[in-house]
A and B are shown apart, each in its own frame.
Chain A
Amino acid sequence: MSFINYSSREINCKIVYYGPGLCGKTTNLQYIYAKTNPEAKGKMISLETETERTLFFDFLPLSLGEIRGFKTRFHLYTVPGQVFYDASRKLILKGVDGVVFVADSQVERMDANVESLENLRDNLREQGYDLDKLPYVVQYNKRDLPTAVDADYLRQALNPTRVPDYEAVATTGIGVFDTLKAVAKQVLIELKRGR
């Protein structure tokens, strides 16, 4: 649910990065944080466990510039990927404007990808959203790893509706901004349509 403030002329939108544990959601945000001008970003917050696994969420506020005199701000969130944090994941999806599903390309994580994607659909449905009607992109991360499966195979398994998808290596930044750009664009187009 975007927030438009006519008084301060601001548009605020919420984008959530979803995916199985250790797929690279936090790494996506860390890369964006590292490569963005200081004036365009706020502080990145990570609520994590002692072993640096996401416990509740990561949060990164980002300013993209002005559109028709309105400052556009995107609030990027990640969810905790581990299966047993489902209650927290549901909370973070509240008020979402766009979703990025980060898949782990490694063959041994295929089941986890499929399970997480089903979990995303279920949790969105519970909040009254339909993934097929939301701004949504898929990222196939960890393309550099030796056990990465073919992108076409991933596409067939994880992107049956053929939304925009990107191959990525989040640690080095490949595909990270393409993914963000694609989802942010869809969010603004939705805003234009007036939903």
Chain B
Amino acid sequence: MNSQMVLYEEEYNLVVGICDALHRDASAKAVFLVDKNGQLLAASGETGDLDTTSLASLTAGNIAATGGLAQLLGEKEFAIQFHEGERDNVHISLVGQRVILVIIFDQRSSLGLVRLRVKKASVELAGVFETINAKAQEHGSTVFSEITDDDIDNLFGDM
């Protein structure tokens, strides 16, 4: 079973920094980092008009389905997906088996440039996520051990 994903401020800032740099260097519209289980971890660029929660969930579903397909064909995985639209294109890749990097780009960029920049960013991200995993196993989620039953009950007050 996967362990819980905990993102602390320090690593979060590193991750966002890498996404910002990738957004700029790849001339992309937007960059997203999504957990394999469908949680949005970080976003950069023109994200205002996008439903990022849905995007994260559907991307994870897409990667999961493609992974299932790969297994059926005896492949370990299909690490990269590319969807070409009339205006916007989507480049999806797996980073370190754990997170999904999504780049949305238009005619201001090209697939070649995106692939090149993604390669570099993936190495950096993989490094940060190794730290994140190590930290999660070390610390656990200590803040939540202080949650009381009343805290939980209060949450459901209006339901």
A180 to nearest B CB, angstroms?
A: 8
Q: Is the CB–CB distance between B1 and A192 below 8 Å?
A: no
Q: Which residues of A contact B (CB under 8 A)?
A: 1-8, 11-12, 14, 42-43, 45, 47, 56-57, 59, 61, 64-68, 70, 72, 75, 87-88, 90-92, 94-95, 127-129, 177, 180-181, 184-185, 188-189, 191-195
Count: A-B pairs, CB below 8 Å? 130
B71 to nearest A CB, angstroms?
A: 9
Given that A61-B53, A68-B151 are contacting pairs, would A4 and B1 also be in contact in the complex, using a CB cutoff of 8 Å? no
Query: Interface size bucket, B side?
Result: 35 or more
Q: Is the CB–CB distance between A64 and B156 below 8 Å?
A: yes
Given that A95-B36, A192-B144 are contacting pairs, would A4 and B5 also be in contact in the complex, using a CB cutoff of 8 Å? yes
Q: Is the CB–CB distance between A129 and B1 below 8 Å?
A: yes
Given that A59-B57, A91-B68 are contacting pairs, would A4 and B4 also be in contact in the complex, using a CB cutoff of 8 Å? yes
Given that A4-B6, A75-B39, A177-B159 are contacting pairs, would A127 and B13 also be in contact in the complex, using a CB cutoff of 8 Å? no
Q: Is the CB–CB distance between B152 and A14 below 8 Å?
A: no
Stretch at the interface among B58-66, B81-89, B118-126: B58-66
B131 interface residue per 8 A CB criterion:
no
B49 interface residue per 8 A CB criterion:
no
Contacts of B128 in A (CB 8 A): none
Minimal Cβ-Cβ distance residue in A for B8: A6
Beyond contacts A67-B147, A181-B156: 7 other A-B pairs, Cβ-Cβ < 8 A, are A3-B35, A5-B7, A42-B53, A45-B57, A127-B1, A188-B147, A194-B141
